[in-house]
Amino acid sequence: MKKKIIYLDYAAATPTDKKVQKAMAPFYSREFANPSSLHQLGQHSRAAVETAREQVASFLSCSADEVVFTSGATEANNIVIQGISFHPNPTANPTSHPGGAKLRTPGVRSAGSKPHIITSMIEHESVLAPVLQLEREGVIEVTYIAVSKEGIVHPDDIEKALGENTALVSIQYANSETGTIQPIAKIGKVIKKYKEENIGSKILFHTDAVQAALYLHCNVAKLGVDLLTLSGHKIYGPKGVGVLYIKKGSRVRPLFFGGGQEQDVRPGTENVACIVGMGEAIAEIRNPKHEIQNIQVRQLRDRLIKIIPQRISGVEVTGSIVERLPNNVHLLINGVEGKDVVFLLDQKGVAVSTGSACSERSKEPSHVLLNMGYGDKEARSAVRITLGKHTKKEEVEKTVKILEKVVEQLRAKK
């Protein structure tokens, strides 16, 4: 008989909801037609795509034509970074340049200077990797904003970094490793104020809301963002589908050119089944029972944050305790390697991670923890436990007991 796994890695991937699977099923069989086809079957597929677009638009409180479907968050983030880097905005009048801006590349930037991007040092790899690559190629200038010990970006640091050639600010809504929530609405107000005071500034504000969508509001107007990223497999939807919200009037150059689908931003035949699944998963977030599930998840998280340090010595919970996703428990466990803990827990039937799934196989310590001020050894001791709507209280209690034994075993070998 197959051993039941206690799954506590919901930040990496969520199981596809049964309602989502049911909604998707017809589009793998009888409703298979290309949504660009003009015949009746094609228009059935087109209607399904547009229904999903409306579902996402309702969640974001935006217009349906501001919703673009992608293959996932990585593609969406790359569209933002690369699309704006190669589509520089007009600069404002040089006299409007704020004094004392702390920019990584020194010197005054003229009207012909490179686009300037502001991002934080703890962003997801799908933002940092294209930014670093374009910086190496000399395409853009970049300011990397430092964070506090809790991993929070201060809006004042964004304000100081804004300049006449700033084209984009990209700050993740909630961190995928520590679960720390960023003050996105406050940063949005800082950028809005700067644009009001510097006529002609066309700065765009982007947030990667992949981890936040299940737990935080994503009203784009209230957040003050021009661009926002979502991912299907983080919200009980399918893998291989994402969303990029693009506010009307925002200029973003596409990565690909072809058939003109998705407002010419993301051409190519739409993945109808997964788009339908994305729409259904978004609709489930708006279900009143979802808030009850979130409360239950938060209670289990609080239980873990309380009892693990009590039962196991030398444990630190990283990130903000207050401004934190309700499903995230991120720990530094003194005297062990996080990957060893993950391996042994897996052998005993508990699935957790050391951090972001995208960097799980990396031999390097977490850039997030290093940039929060932790040392190399501390960063390597990280273990991330993330809960979901299917997590049971008895699973949490059992996990703590197993974790105690695993840490004791590993420390005994030192």
Tell me the catalytic residues.
358
Question: How far apart (Å, rounded) are the C-alpha atoms in residues 270 and 36?
Answer: 9
Question: How far apart (Å, rounded) are the C-alpha atoms in residues 285 and 289?
Answer: 9
Given a contact cutoff of 8 angstroms between Cβ atoms, the answer to whether 230 and 207 are in contact is no
**55 closest CA partner among 214, 271, 270, 282:** 282
CB within 8 Å of 411: residues ≥ 6 apart: 335, 336
Handedness of CA 20, 22, 28, 32 (dihedral sign): negative
Torsion of CA 125, 285, 49, 206, to 10 degrees: -40
* Residue found under tokens 């700050």: 171
Which CA distances in Å does 55 have to 69, 235, 403? 12, 14, 41
In this structure, what token pair is assigned to residue 181? 């929530």
**264 closest CA partner among 64, 58, 65:** 65
Q: Which helix (H) or strand (E) holds 331?
A: strand 328-333
Alpha helices in 11-124 (DSSP H): 18-24, 40-60, 73-85
Would you give the distance in Å from CA 292 to the centre of its chain? Answer: 23
CB within 8 Å of 183: residues ≥ 6 apart: 152, 153, 155, 323
**88 closest CA partner among 194, 187, 201:** 201
In this structure, what token pair is assigned to residue 212? 């936040």
In this structure, what token pair is assigned to residue 392? 């049971």
Question: How far apart (Å, rounded) are the C-alpha atoms in residues 234 and 212?
Answer: 9
Write down how long the chain is.
414
- Bridge partners of 317, per DSSP, are 331
Crossing angle of helices 393-412 and 288-311, rounded to 10° = 30
